[in-house]
Amino acid sequence: MTTREERITRAAKALAYTYADTGKAIECKVCNSWIYTHKRGASAEYDALAVHLENDHPELHKELEKDFYRLNLG
């Protein structure tokens, strides 16, 4: 069984892939801020955006938890 935090983390990553563009910086479509990473590769930007969505947008946690089950991420 996954914990609520794990469900939110996985769903945030899944949502990040739908919001993200490739590059060194990635825009959060929720708050229109830019998230920067020093790591190379598109997945680094997605991971940085997922962390941002998880930590800076608690209003999304219920939606992310629903997405966890809807997207069958468990």
Query: What's the confidence (pLDDT) of residue 22?
Result: 47
Which stretches of the chain drop beneath a pLDDT of 50? 22
pLDDT of residue 32: 92
**What is the number of domains present in the chain?**
1
**Percent of the chain whose predicted confidence (pLDDT) is above 70:** 86
Range of the domain at 38: 4-70
Q: Determine the Cα–Cα distance for residues 33 and 56; give it in Å rounded to an integer.
A: 11
d(CA 66, CA 38): 31
| Separation between Cα atoms, residue 25 and residue 57, nearest integer Å | 18
Give me the pLDDT at residue 21, please: 52
pLDDT at residue 46, rounded to an integer: 86
